[in-house]
Structure 1
Amino acid sequence: MASAAALGMALVSPAYAQAADPNPDGIQDIVVYAQKKARGEQLQKVPMAISAIDSKTIEASHAIDIRDIGRLVPNAQLDGVGTFPGFANFFMRGVGVSTSVRSLDPAVNIIQDGMVIGYQAGAVLDTFDTEGVEVLRGPQGVLFGRNASGGAVSLRSKRPTGKSEATFKVTLGNANTVETRTGLETAIVEDKVFARLAVLTRNNDGFFHNRNSGTFVTVPAATNANPTGAAAAQHKEGRVGGADEVVVKSTWVFNVAEATRFTLLGQYINFKDGGGATRSFFVPGSPQRQQQTLWGYTPADKKWGVNLGTPGYTDIKGFHIIGELSQDIGAGTLTAIGAYRKVSYDSTLNVGGDPFDVLLFPDGEEDAKQSSFEARYNITIADRFDLLVGGFYFNLKEDVFEKRLTRLPTTTLDRYTVNVWDQDIKSYAAFANLDFHITPELTASAGVRYSKDTKRMHVQPLVNCPGQSFESCVLNFLDAKKSWDDVSPRFVVNYKVQPNIMLYASYSRGYRAGNFNARAPSAGGAVTPANPETVASYEVGVKSDLLNNRLRINLGYYRQKYDDIQRLVQFAVAGESPAQQLFNAAKATIQGIELETAFAPVRGLRFDGSLGYTDAKYDSFNNLTGLPAGVSATSLRFDRVPKWTAYIGGSYETDLGDDSSLSFRTGYTWRSHVYTDVLNTPLLEQKAYGLWDANVTYERGRWSVSLFGRNLANTEYAEIKSPNIGYNAFGGMPRYYGVEFGVRF
């Protein structure tokens, strides 16, 4: 996999790429929309830390969803939550949210075609039919606004251009994978109405094998476990975590008049996937947990090993519609984007990760719908000032019914627990940014955003039902409402030392609104929100294209002050699973370095790489319990934030003549070790690991065939590890390989 900057692939037409780059064999620039200008800008001219990946790179690397994009980007972890499939838990530069609590806003915005996605369940978007992905690191408080204190990931769908074209690709892979991707576009009315239809189907049996494995001993007191040991743990074996997915995208472009364009984008998703493949593990010599002491079960020490009585399921259905109007008015351009999204997320999750189904989240029901509107006006004044002014409105309504079923080992009874809530969020913002071109080489920018967020929570905190059913539970709802506002500024100065070398320095501030902890076990915890957290970032960097555009070096240093950090802190509850309370628990200083490079020494051959370093230290941490004796909270490392991230890749393409070509690509991603919990528990450490991908593609005329492999070494890793009934690992992806056939008309 390789970055677009490294591979020199553009989001624009080949004619534009040739005109923009005097050396077509070198590293061509690409167009990005990170500064929300009326027109796109060349990546190397944007004075901010941004990585851009284009459609050809996405397709060539066989990326599945935006988590794969994170493997290319320094100091970014675009991972899932690990427990619930399709739930985003993104970090950038140490700023993020490490939980599946639905009521918490993200710190890294996911934006699709100008629509910010508020509800994180079902937000791990597929990269299918995507024109490009931009990853903006650091707080985006002015331009991308809503809660983008860590950064933003912006996807742009392919737009029809008026040409008539059809493409079809089919992929056959391990785990009985069958994937099809179809794209059709044409001009409905010449020069006036263009249409594109794209359909993805993906089916597989799952990449994890569910086996009756591990060892069992008799625990006489374990009435519910059946003291016959292994006989109590038998279940159907086979693959789990399979996928049955459909994505349909329809895009229409209406050239209403010379100065007026309207784009309508719609998408429908239907994911019927397996539950999260929870993997239990036990390290010899470590403290035993209930799996061993009360259930007599010790998991097998087997790579990617799974032993689940009930594997569970995930059923995500949703659609969105986005309308974008671009209207030239006077010397400027008005852009207005209205969007509506609705998603349902039903699931059963085996949290315990064991054959006894000790802890299930069965038949959870979630629904969310959002509407948003943004309008902005760009105008150039006297050729020296570029002014952007705009406003933003967002409304999100969430409705969640979460259930927990716990088998009790010393009785035949089970514990039934529910958590029911709905939340209504409204956000308003006004923003402005001014670029002052002092000289052709020197530009100063200043921007500001005012935000107001109001949240209304209606919640039944976690409560145990008195009977042997969820229906026996008595619900006593609590209500709370809270508003917060914020002013976030941004200042940037950039100077072109030479036409292809730019220096920049910036200050920006990000804000994440206060949050209610809907999963709180107490009334006070459920209706007492944490206050907003803020990030202030100072950054300096250089962007350069050297050796006649054959060598690209982008280097930056940042330092952030992270205040009023919202953290879920676990505490013990007698006889029950650990509970979580939400606090403004900490302050921190984060600094780091980011390097992105590309080198194209000869035609067809390219190398690219990235390196990120993050030093994240707590300045203070309150309300934290469970620390080992002699350990200070301020000595803890940030959980799920590696100190080092790295990527190196290469590609070679050769023309075989007779309208045919052969290309090779390979890439290796590496992350240093992380602790996956706040307390830095050694047993929950994810050791350093690397992932190796490769593919080879042959094209002849309209036809293509590609052999590919992802995680070829089958390296085992997890997105998160946690102590529960036992020790559990969540997330990660085993080896995936296959062959892809394509044709275009």
Structure 2
Amino acid sequence: MSLTLALLLAGQIAAPPAGQEPAPVSPGVQATAPDDTPAEGEVGRTGPAVASPGGDIVVTARRRAETVQSVPIAISVIGGTAIAETGAYNVSRITQLQPTLQFYSTNPRNSAANIRGLGAPFGLTNDGIEQGVGIYVDQVYYSRIASATFDFTDTERIEILRGPQGTLYGKNTTAGAINITTRPPSFTPEARAEVTGGNLDFFQGKASISGPLVADRIAARLSASVTTRRGTIYNVRTDEYLNSQDNIGLRGQMLFRATPDLDLTLYADYNRQNPNCCVQYYARTGATQRPTIRQYAALAAAQGYVVPSTNAFDRVTDVDTDLRAKQELGGLSLVANWDLGASTLTSVTAWRFWHWDPSNDRDFIGLPITTVSANPSQQSQFSQELRIGSNGTNAVDYTLGAFYFYQTIDTQGLQVQGPAASAFLLNPTSAGGRDPATLNGLTSRNTIGFTNTSAALFGKLTWHAGEAFSISPGLRVNYDKKDGSYVSVVTNGAGSTTLTNDQRGVLAPQTYEPSFDNWNVSGDITAAYTVTPDIHAYATYARSYKSGGINLSGLPLDGNNNPILAAATVEPEKVNHFELGLKTQFADRRATVNLAAFWTEIDDYQATVTNGQLGVLRGYLANAGKVRTRGIEFDSAFRPTSRFNVYVNGAWTDAKYVKFVDAPCPPELSGGTTATASNPATPAGTGTVSPAACDISGQRLPGVSKWAFSYGAEYDLPARFAGLDGQFYLGYDGSYRSRFSSNPSRSLYTDINGYALSNFRLGFKAKDSWNVFGWLRNAFDRNYYEVLALQSGSTGLVVGQPGDPRTYGLTVSRSF
């Protein structure tokens, strides 16, 4: 829990008292957005974000309405108007507005959301563990981070909470939470429509309609969105563009006011994404410990192969496997709120599904090394949360809850090696390496099953010891049970399960049934002090746990090529978190400046480890000894005049492995023979030995920049245009992230250089109706990578996924 500037990025603020300027906000520019304000009577149990008469943003992060500046939690709020105007229509784009949020994705399944560098191990996703950053939509926990790749549909606000939140939320979230709230049904008829067009054949359409079905009793809302865009990467082999967008989203809600004290809201949603995606391709090469003839340049030359370009920002590739990243997700939920007078009882019942149908080119180039790589998956979850919370401000406020969660996953994996696999993955001077038939047609069929049961009791009290001082202790009792089954059947090109050592070294048959169960008790305590009505200080300590897990991507093998069963499970992470925060407003609330410092230590950190077998594509999970992240954050917003506002947010984050003595080695030290104590690997090998593991204690965690900033400004000018009263506005939003590692063990080959992005918008907004604006994103066409990765086999090939080039377009929206 840290500092936050929740006034930043809020899309709605109420008019201030006479003679007082509204609190500064960003980047949504406008102070009051009438179309975002709930109708009379809709405030309260249904939980929309509303503005208090003093111009404060009111949130429900602690399960009751509070002004954001007084909440001793790190919470940034992005309103629906800001989402539309900044183009932040999914979690990935929010990272440009939130310095402490990181989101990395090579395809929807292999995605990770981190806060302050913590949340999920960097690398390929393993279904057997959980995310440290929880995703919640309308109070429902989404178990897979892939769900976060959907487009926001009819979103009212997004709250980003930093730090452990397990005493307030049903599912334990040790790094933070992304809490998404959609617009509720309205008893006042309303409609919205938005259409956007841009380069790269970009089109996005959104629409919603809401109104009463039975006066004062039943209201409904329907919304839909469509997003399409041509890909940014051209495949010269297939004459098509890759990494496209093709998304549709449908959402329906029905609010039933059964009695004056009882509300029931039924939610239903369906999302489908079917892009021609996702490709990573040649970025650079670097020497490994393999002999020169077994490194990328020599291997490619031996096949007579040349990539279309060695400059990734030419945005061309020749991958020879059809790409697919189709996913369908949706579900039903029922939220009931019963006002008991002194408290409110809330029930959240939900069922969700996620179906994943992929196809990848896992060798990343136009040679038939791995011709098929796909892990289709069908996942479903059921959750039930019961929660009771006090209403109003009492001597003691409280939130108490119980949570149950059950999840099943069925995965059918398929990997097929092609005729170039032997030359690339085996010693080309050996009999097996010289014979394409050794690996050609080698096939692994994996059947993976998983069940996950979780239950918890949680609660938080706030004792108002005086008008200015409060103490808030929290407690959580949690139980987790995970059971899995992994069966990998490997056949050679002739269809036989009798394999050679060369074949087993690339795709190893194995069968195991891992299981994990654990009880734990965690808690936190926060002391908050109101120095003045506009200055709030807090201090927090939290002891939290991230559930242990099981490996569902295959295990490393022993000397007899049998799976090492001791690696089948990973222990829970144990988190100690400390934080100090200060939230301030001054100059008649024209300025907001918030500061915070945090220190988080994790024992038994869950990390991705590379399998020592050179040909194996996937890694597995293991526990690092200890990691630590610490940092200082600031958020600031200023409104010098009623027409002009500025914001600057920044974070210094120092995230390191404190102790990780048996980590995977970086590619510079990989690919050689097993090291001995007297014959260690050399720094830039050309056919020498490699250590079995490396001590990377003291190195930085992957995926997190030491410095990160977001900043922007907007100026508006009252005007009358086309017979409408409104305002012209000019806005700018920028972001910067310093260098970060894109590999679990830091490597010079996979460091991503720092970069800055700039976005502009210019438009006219008419009160309560039209908003028309042009936008320019990545205005200076900055070349940067989102992720870098390695080709399997220690060939030295580094592949990348560039960020979007400059894009531009026009958005027209109308509220009725």
Q: TM-score, normalised by structure 2?
A: 0.83
Kindly provide the CA deviation profile for residues 11-50 of structure 1, in whole angstroms up to 9, marking residues without a partner as x.
x7x4xx546995337554212221122xx22111100111
2:521 matched residue in structure 1: 487
- 241, 260, 280: which one aligns with 2:243: 241
Query: CA separation in 2, counterparts of 1:146 and 1:137?
Result: 15
How far does residue 457 in structure 1 lie from its aligned partner after superposition?
A: 0.6
Partner residue of 1:571?
A: 611
Change (3 A) 1:361 1:609: farther
Q: How much has 1:715 moved relative to structure 2? A: 2.2
Aligned to 1:686: 752
SS at match of 2:149: coil
1:677 aligns with 743
The partner residue of 1:640 within 703, 712, 722 is 703
Give yes or no for the alignment of 1:416 onto 2:443: yes
Query: Of 81, 89, 96, which residue of structure 1 is paired with 2:119?
Result: 96
**How many angstroms does 1:734 deviate by?**
2.7
- Say which SS state the counterpart of residue 297 (structure 2) adopts: helix
Query: In the superposition, relative to structure 1, how do residues 707 and 286 fare at CA in structure 2: closer, same or farther (>3 Å)?
Result: farther
Q: For 1:202 and 1:378, how far apart are their aligned partners in 2?
A: 39
The structure 1 residue matched to 2:189, chosen from 147, 164, 169, is 164
Match of 1:538 in 2: 578
Corresponding residue for 1:650? 713
Gaps of 5+ in 2: 26-54, 424-434, 499-506, 557-562, 670-680, 684-693
Taking the aligned partners of 2:368 and 2:383, their CA distance within structure 1 comes to: 41
Distance in structure 2 (CA, Å) of the matches to 1:545 and 1:465: 67
More divergent stretch after superposition (294-303 vs 581-590): 294-303
* CA distance 1:572–1:293, change in 2 (3 Å): farther
Q: Cα deviation per residue 1:467-509 (whole Å; 9 max; x = unaligned)?
A: 4679999987432322011111110011111001101001112
Identity %: 24
Partners of 1:194 and 1:3 lie apart in 2 by 34
Q: Which of 357, 360, 365 pairs up with 1:349?
A: 360
Matched, 1:611 2:620: no
Q: Say whether the 8 Å CA contact 2:10–2:78 is kept in structure 1.
A: no
Aligned to 2:284: 282
Task: Please give the residue correspondences for 1:246-645 in structure 2 after superposition, counting only pairs within 5 Å.
Answer: 246-283=248-285, 291-296=296-301, 297-299=305-307, 300-302=309-311, 303=313, 304-379=315-390, 383-407=394-418, 408=421, 409=423, 410-412=435-437, 413-461=440-488, 464-467=490-493, 477-522=511-556, 523-525=563-565, 528-574=568-614, 576-577=615-616, 579-626=618-665, 632-645=695-708
Whether the aligned pair in 1 keeps the contact of 2:90 and 2:148 (CA below 8 Å) is no
Change over 3 Å in CA distance of 1:280–1:554 after alignment to 2: same
Structure 2 distance, partners of 1:739, 1:469, is: 56
Range moving further from structure 2, 704-713 or 668-677: 704-713
* Residue in structure 2 matched with residue 737 of structure 1 by the alignment: 808
- CA drift at 1:62: 1.5
Aligned-pair CA distance for 1:70: 2.1
User: What are the ranges of 5 or more consecutive residues in structure 1 without an aligned counterpart?
Assistant: 212-234
In structure 2, which of residues 59, 62, 83 is the aligned counterpart of residue 35 of structure 1?
62
Residues 592 and 613 of structure 1 are in contact (CA less than 8 Å); yes or no, is this contact kept in structure 2?
A: yes
1:703 and 2:770 aligned = yes
Q: Does residue 1:199 correspond to 2:224, yes or no?
A: yes
Following the alignment from structure 1 to structure 2, what is the Cα–Cα distance between the partners of residues 540 and 337?
A: 33
Pairwise CA distance, 1:278: 1.0
- Structure 1 residues 362 and 284: CA distance shift in structure 2, 3 A: closer
Q: Which residue identity lines up with residue 446 of structure 1 in the other structure?
A: P
CA gap of 1:524–1:476, structure 2 versus 1, over 3 A, is: closer
Question: Conserved in 1, the CA contact under 8 Å of 2:644 and 2:714?
Answer: yes
Q: 1:469 to 1:184 in 2, by over 3 A?
A: farther
Matched residue SS, 1:292: helix
Q: Give the corresponding residue for 1:215.
A: none
- The CA distance in 1 between the partners of 2:231 and 2:813, in whole Å, is 24
The 3 A distance-change label for structure 1 pair 360 and 114 is farther
- Secondary structure of the residue aligned to 1:714 is coil
Q: Separation in 2 of the partners of 1:382 and 1:65?
A: 35
Helix, strand or coil: the match of 2:697?
helix
User: After the TM superposition, which of the residue ranges 473-482 and 515-524 deviates more from structure 2?
Assistant: 473-482
1:722 to 789, 800, 805: 789
- Alpha-carbon deviation of 1:285? 7.6
- Looking at structure 1, the residues matched to 215 and 144 of structure 2 have their Cα atoms a distance apart, in angstroms, of 39
Q: Tell whether the 8 Å contact from 1:572 to 1:579 is kept in structure 2 after alignment.
A: no
More deviation, 25-34/607-616:
25-34
**TM-score calculated relative to the size of structure 1:** 0.90
Q: d(CA) in 2 for partners of 1:528 and 1:676?
A: 25
Q: Tell me the secondary structure at the aligned position of residue 550 of structure 2.
A: coil
Residue by residue over 1:334-358, the C-alpha shift from the partner in whole angstroms, topping out at 9 and shown as x without a partner, is: 0111111011010101122212242
Aligned length: 711
| Alpha-carbon distance in structure 2 between the residues aligned to 1:174 and 1:604 | 31
Is the aligned partner of 1:66 residue 2:91? yes
- Give, as a single letter, the amino acid of the residue that structure 2 aligns with 1:567: A
DSSP-derived class of the 1:558 partner: strand
Q: Distance in 1 between matches of 2:70 and 2:170?
A: 22
Q: 2:399 and 2:287 mapped to 1: Cα distance?
A: 61
Q: 1:637 to 1:43 in 2, by over 3 A?
A: same
Which SS does the other structure have where 1:95 is aligned? coil
- Which one has the bigger strand percentage? 1
Residue 430 of structure 2 corresponds to which residue in structure 1? none
Change (3 A) 1:679 1:709: same
Code of the aligned partner of 2:59: V
Alpha-carbon separation, structure 1, partners of 2:414 and 2:183: 40
Give the counterpart letter for 1:395 in structure 2: Y
Partner of 2:11: 9
**2:663 is paired with a residue of what secondary structure?**
coil
Give the Å deviation of 1:57: 0.7
3-state SS in 2 of match to 1:44: helix
Q: Residue 354 and residue 110 in structure 1: after superposition, are their counterparts in 2 closer, same or farther (change >3 A)?
A: same
Q: Which moved more, 1:338-347 or 1:513-522?
A: 513-522
